[in-house]
């Protein structure tokens, strides 16, 4: 009797591990970047630093990231780093992803440059797929695992009185970020 229970439990554990491995390594569906919204109005140019940009980012993403089952922290210095922790069988595995920001039509494309998942060798696409599935990002953030990038559609972020923001220049190595705030005309 105990042998049947043991082999049933062992089979269930092995099947669970195989299912998790299959889901984590299966190819991600193709995700396309949304078309940026066109905005017109009076333009105010704002220059900021990486530290201030990090603070703004955390303010806009704070609520979404705090509700996530996968803890996510963002740090902006000479590159953008995303930190997380994945718990596998009561073992915390640290995840560190490095991104280079690229300005594209007023929006920001975060191109992944490095990924570290503890001491495991996991493909970057898999890590981004896990993040896409586990974190409920705002509608203006699109995770594109197959291209190893995150698309931040600044044109869809609502700020005060219907104003919009677009990126003009991001050079984190020189600590130089230029954004434009578009205030709608009456």
N-to-C CA span, the chain:
79
pLDDT category, 68, cuts 50, 70, 90? Answer: low
Residue pair 129/117 in contact (Cβ under 8 Å)? The answer is no
Residue 104 has pLDDT above 80, yes or no: yes
Q: Which of 186 and 101 is assigned the larger pLDDT?
A: 101
The mean pLDDT value for 58-85 works out to 79
**How is the chain split among helix, strand and coil, in percent rounded to 5?**
35, 40, 25
CB 186 within 8 A of CB 90: no
Within 26-123, where are the H helices? Answer: 50-66
Which residue bears the tokens 């990126």? 167
Q: Could you tell me the pTM of the whole model? A: 0.75
Task: Evaluate whether 143 touches 137 at the Cβ level (below 8 Å).
Answer: yes
| Confidence at 38, pLDDT banded by 50, 70, 90 | low
The Cα diameter of the chain in Å comes to: 79
**Average pLDDT for residues 157-184, to the nearest whole number?**
86
> Between the ranges 67-81, 109-123, 129-143, 167-181, where is the mean pLDDT highest?
167-181
User: d(Cα 85, Cα 24) in Å, to the nearest integer?
Assistant: 15
Q: Give me the chain's average pLDDT, please.
A: 80
What is the token pair recorded at 152? 């931040």
pLDDT digits (tens, 9 = 90+) for 136-154: 788 888 888 888 899 988 8
Q: Fill in the DSSP letter of residue 109.
A: E
pLDDT of residue 76 exceeding 60: yes
């Amino acid at each position: 009797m105990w042998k049947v229970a043991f082999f049933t439990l062992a089979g269930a554990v092995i099947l669970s591990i195989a299912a998790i491995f299959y889901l984590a390594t299966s190819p991600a569906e193709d995700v396309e970047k949304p078309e940026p919204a066109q905005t017109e109005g009076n333009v105010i140019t704002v220059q900021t630093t990486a530290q201030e940009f990090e603070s703004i980012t955390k303010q806009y993403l704070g609520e979404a990231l705090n509700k996530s089952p996968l803890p996510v922290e963002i740090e902006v210095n000479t590159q953008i780093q995303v930190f997380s922790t994945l718990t596998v069988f009561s073992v915390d595995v640290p995840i560190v992803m490095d991104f280079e920001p690229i300005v594209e039509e007023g929006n920001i494309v975060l191109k992944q440059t490095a990924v570290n998942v503890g001491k495991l060798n996991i493909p970057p696409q898999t890590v981004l797929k896990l993040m896409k599935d586990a974190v409920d990002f705002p509608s203006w953030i699109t995770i594109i695992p197959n291209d190893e990038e995150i698309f931040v559609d600044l044109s869809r972020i609502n700020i005060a009185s219907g104003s919009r923001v677009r990126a003009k220049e991001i050079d984190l190595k020189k600590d130089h970020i230029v954004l434009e705030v578009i205030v709608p005309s009456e």
